[in-house]
Structure formats: C-alpha cells, structure tokens
Chains A and B, each alone.
Chain A
Amino acid sequence: MQAIPFEQGLMLAAALFALGLIGVLTRRNVVFVLMCLEIMLNACGLAFVVSSARWQHADGQIMFLMILTLAAAEVAVGLGLIIQMFRKFQTVDINVLTQMRG
C-alpha cells in the first residue's frame, strides 16, 4: 500500500488550521466560532498524527488524545457559557458582547 507522503499530510493540516482561523475571525454566531475552534484544534491533532507516523513512535498520537480531551473540556465550558449568554441576551450573536468600552 502506498503511504501518504508526510509533507502532504502537514499541508492538509495547515489548510484546515487556516480555515478554522478564518472561521473564528469572521463568524458572528458563537456556536460556529466554537466549531471553528474545534477545527483548529483537530488540525493540530492531524499534524501530530502525521508526524508521529513519520517517526514511527506513539508520542504524537498520545498528544492527539490529550488534544481531544482538551477540546471536549473547552467545548463543555463554552457551551455552558453560551447557554448563559442566550438566557441573558436572547441571542447567540457575538455582536452583543460589546458592553465594555474603553
């Protein structure tokens, strides 16, 4: 079986990462912002898995498991906050979060 070249794997990860970053910067809906954050974190995970396949050891894959855990924790807190935000403002549009000025 032909293995996927390591460079192409990293390219894919970088492209996903860029897409996620663009999404975080442009999306107005907080739920989509969280989803784009997830894409960024998973792009990092993909980069780790690809690299660990290159070096033929498990360090990168363990790192990926940790990233999964982190992403889950992050989203758990994030969704909790979004529920509070919806209760308070009746919307999940990020533009309402501009009460502080200075």
Chain B
Amino acid sequence: METAITIQDLVPLLPVLVVTGVAVLAMLLIALKRNHTLIGATTIIGLGLALITAFLVLPFAGQQVTPLLMIDNFSLFFTIVILLAAGFIAVFSFPYLYHLKDEVEEYYLLLLIATIGALIMVSSNHFLSAFLGLETLSISLYAMIAYPLHSKEAVKFPVEASLKYLVLSAVSSALILFGIALLYAQTGSLQFTELAMTGGSVADGYFITALVLLFAGVGFKLSLAPFHMWTPDVYEGAPLPATMYLATVGKAAMMVLLLRFVVASQALSFHSVVVVIGCMAVLSILAGNLLALVQENLKRILAYSSIAHMGYLLIALIALDDASTRLGVEAISFYLIAYIVMSLGAFGVATVISSSEKEFDFVADYQGLFWREPWLALLLTAMLLSLAGIPLTVGFIGKFYVVLAGVEGSLWGLLLVLVVGSGISIYYYLRIVYRMLLQPQLDQAYREAGWDSIGSYAVLALLLALLLLLGVYPGFLMSIIEVVSVSI
C-alpha cells in the first residue's frame, strides 16, 4: 500500500494546514508579546483565511489523502461550516474575555486546536484519524471549560464542570475504543468500509456487541439519553464561549463523523443496532424536553433542549436504513446547520450581555429585556422560536426535513414522539419570551457595549439574517446539500 504523502495530497488538506499554521503562529506571538487584541485578531483572520482556502480547494474534492482522510465535497462543506462557527465563537469570545483578570491569550490557542480536531473528524473515513480528531477536540475542550478558574467573581464552577466532562468524556472514549478494537479483531482493518465487506462472514452477536459499545460512547459525546447526565452541569459551569463551542462545533463534528461511519459501514443493517438507536432517540426527546420544563437557568434549558435536538437527528439517522435514498443525509446536514445557527444566536445574546466577571444565565436575569434592549430581545425571541420549530424560521424547515426523512422510512412511532416532544418544547421556549416582556428588574447591570462588542453585534445580525433567509427561502441551501451529500 502506497502511503507516502505527495504534494498533490497536501493541496486538499490546506484548510487544516492553515489552521495548524495559525495555531503555531499564535503560540509564537504569545511568547513574543502578550496582547489580547493581537492574538484575537490573528485567530479570527486565520480562521477566515482557512475558510477562503476551503473554497479554493473545492475543485480538488473527492481525493483520498493517505488511507486516513477522505476529502470530498461533503467533508469540505462541513469544513466550511465548522470554520465559520469557530470564527463566530472567536468573535464572541473577544469581548467576553476582555475583562478577565488573568492571561487570556491561550484561550484562542485552545480554540484553534479544537478546530483542527473537528476538521479532522469531518474528513476521516478511518478509525485512527477519527479517534485522533475526536481526542484533539475533547482535550482542548477540557481546558477551555476550565479556563476562567482564577476568576474570583464568577458565579460558576469551571473546575467542577471540567472534571466532570473529563471523566465522562474519557470513559466514552474508552467505550468507543473498545468497540473499535472488537471490530478490528474480527475484520482486520480500521477502515470504515471494511465492516460492510466482511459483515456477512462473522456471527452477528459479535458485531452487535462492538457496535453497541461504539454507539454508547458516541451517545455520551452527543449527550443522548441515557448518557446525558453530564450535559446540563457542564453547560452551566463552563464559560459561555466554551459552552457555545461544545454545543455547536463539538456536537456537529461528532454527528458528521457518526453519519460518515454509518453510511460507509452499513452498520444499520443489523436490526438490533437500529432498535438501540431508536430507544436512544425516544429517550433523548422525552428526557430532554420534560427535564427542560423545570429549569430556571438559561444554559441548562439550552442543554436539555440540545439533548432533544440530538434525538430528532437520530430519527433522520435511522431513516438511512433504507439505503435507496439520500434524504436522511440531507436532513441531518440541514438540521445541523439550523441547529448551529440557532444555538450560536441564543448563546450569543447571553454572551454579549455577560462578561467573564458576571454571567447572566438565569431566566430571571432576562426579565424585561424587551424594554431595556429591544433588539437583543427580538433576536433571542427569533432564536427561541426557531428552536421550537415555528414556521418562517430555519428550525421549522430543519424539523420538516427530519419528518420527511422519517415518513420516507415509515418510522411512525418515532415521528409521534417527535411531535409530542416539539409540543412540550414550545412551553419552555415561550416561557423565556414571556419573562422578557415583563416589567424590568433594574438591578442587573448588563455589560456595557463598547468598541470590542461591535463584532459580536455584527455576527448576531448575520445569524438573524441567516435564520430568516434560510427559513423563508431554503431552496438555495437545500440544492447545495443535495449536491454534496452524493459524495459520501
């Protein structure tokens, strides 16, 4: 097997290489001179450069770079999505960290390294690269979650959140690894596609054990019930930009990896695996939506709602069982983008009024926001309505797509749970909107919007525009997704 890397191989890897280069550059700049503005700008410009190169290498798509990475249209599409999301989060982080009385520059380094991991994950079709990407992302996230641990004023628990995440994430990595080891023991290869080729010759029970271990580990990472216990605590304890990163890039990269694995390995041809995933979907939707009802903390509500959203995505994943159609892949891709836009927007509003000294994450803190900050309140309302799946927003189209995929696969029971779950979810989203309309309590002093927040407001406006544009006129994105999902 020829595995030497040539120049032709390096071209499709350019986006990853650019991000790596920027990470090294940022590290050297920190060593030379500590300057928050300089490092922040380097990170944001670097991610922008990587985004441009991702567009430039589109003509080279469809290339297997060493046995480890497959750069095709689908992976480049999600490379672009992840770079955009990471860039937006860097913009949000800048004003948030501005007042942190500690060294803040390394935060951007961690963000860049986590992004490298996510980019590797979306382009891997080999267990080794998938695993390395996953761990690069996770280990950077431990540090990002614990970042403000010297902050005296912060009313949050970064060390607790980070240790919880570390232990559970390591357990789930070990579960995934043991699953991979069992698969490797039988098939003798670490390629995703090998399972589909040798699937017939080995006893089913063996593969099912391995796949259930694998899906349990993935369930931890995607915070699917019954492996969701850590999610609300980690979301609450982490600083807002890290929560945002974990909720959007972390989840999306894992979901894309799972999608690639399921399509390549035809893991859904085992009926018991489908049953396991179906149970996880039902439990996630019900647990996520029901537990969110009693929460008073915005971050915890969004954590439980993310559990439910991942449950909806699993329905589209099961619909892939019927391999004659690409609808499941398209539904997951569209829903992931919708989910990233909505989550970034909702967390973004919380980020622009919070700072590392004081986070406003209780629903009570948002009381009367309509009278104090009408535009922000309007934005948050749009994001929450979209999360609930109200028409004219991107969340509605995403949910519609998932339902369509479910109907195609005749998954009537699961669709019923989805409808019930969405019904419940409207209550807790609208409760936040209602609180924003009440008389304001003027004792909370939100962070003053200075020059450093201009970028955040621009990104929020962009997210709102995307939310409405994709909600009213989704055809453009749908046709792109149709084209790219052919390649996987």
A36-65: contact bitstring with B at CB < 8 Å (1 yes, 0 no)? 010011011001101110110101101100
7 inter-chain pairs at a CB distance below 8 angstroms, sorted by A residue, are A41-B173, A47-B181, A63-B190, A70-B131, A70-B173, A73-B139, A97-B160
Partner of B142 from the list A13, A50, A81 (CB cut-off 8 Å) is A81
Cα–Cα, bound, A14→B185 (Å): 13
Q: Do most interface residues of chain A lie in helix, strand or loop, or is the interface mixed? A: helix
B residues near A, CB below 8 A? Answer: 127-128, 131-132, 135, 139, 142-143, 146, 149, 157, 159-164, 166-167, 170-171, 173-174, 177-178, 180-182, 184-185, 188-190, 232-233, 236-237, 295-297, 300
Q: Which residues of B contact A68 (CB under 8 A)?
A: none
Of A6, A33, A85, which contacts B159 at CB under 8 A?
A85
* Most chain A beta-carbon neighbours within 10 Å: one of B174, B236, B300: B174
The answer to whether B167 touches A55 (Cβ under 8 A) is no
B171 touches A37 (CB 8 A): yes
Q: Inside 8 A of B157's CB, which chain A residues have their CB? A: 99-100
- Indicate whether A97 sits within 8 Å of B177 (C-beta atoms), given known contacts A24-B171, A102-B236: no
Known interface pairs A30-B163, A102-B295; A77-B149 also in contact (CB < 8 Å): no
Q: A24-B171, A33-B167, A81-B159 are in contact. Are A44 and B190 (CB under 8 A)?
A: no
User: Which residues of A (81-97) have their CB < 8 Å from a CB of B?
Assistant: 81-82, 84-85, 88, 97
Known contacts: A62-B128, A74-B139, A100-B236. The answer to whether A84 contacts B149 by CB under 8 A is: yes
Binding site for B on A (CB under 8 A): 6, 10, 13-14, 17, 20-21, 24, 30, 33, 37, 40-41, 43-44, 47-48, 50-52, 54-55, 57, 59-60, 62-63, 66-67, 70, 73-74, 77-78, 81-82, 84-85, 88, 97, 99-100, 102
For A6, A44, A47, the residue with the greatest tally of chain B CB atoms inside 10 Å of its CB is: A44
A100-B232, A100-B237 are known contacts; what are 12 more A-B pairs with Cβ within 8 Å? A10-B182, A37-B171, A43-B174, A63-B127, A66-B131, A74-B139, A77-B139, A78-B166, A78-B170, A97-B164, A100-B160, A102-B300
Closest to B233 in A: A100
Are A24 and B167 in contact, with the CB atoms below 8 A? yes
Contact B166 A77 (CB under 8 A): yes
CB distance from A65 to the nearest CB of B (A): 10
Q: Which residue of B lies closest to A76 (CB)?
A: B139
**A37-B184 in contact (CB<8A):** no
Nearest 8 A-B pairs (CB), nearest first?
A: A47-B181, A51-B185, A44-B177, A40-B174, A55-B188, A97-B160, A37-B170, A100-B233
CB-based nearest A residue for B179: A44
Contact of A48 among B159, B184, B237 (CB under 8 A): B184
Pick from B166, B180, B295: contact of A81, CB under 8 Å: B166
B201 to chain A, nearest CB (A): 15
The chain B residue with its CB closest to the CB of A54 is: B185
Q: Measured between alpha carbons, how far is A12 from B296 in the docked complex, in Å?
A: 47
B135 contacts A48, C-beta separation under 8 Å: no
Contact indicator B185/A10 (Cβ below 8 Å):
yes
Q: How far in angstroms is the closest Cβ of chain A from B231?
A: 11
Tell me which residues across on chain A come within 8 A of B237, comparing CB atoms: 100
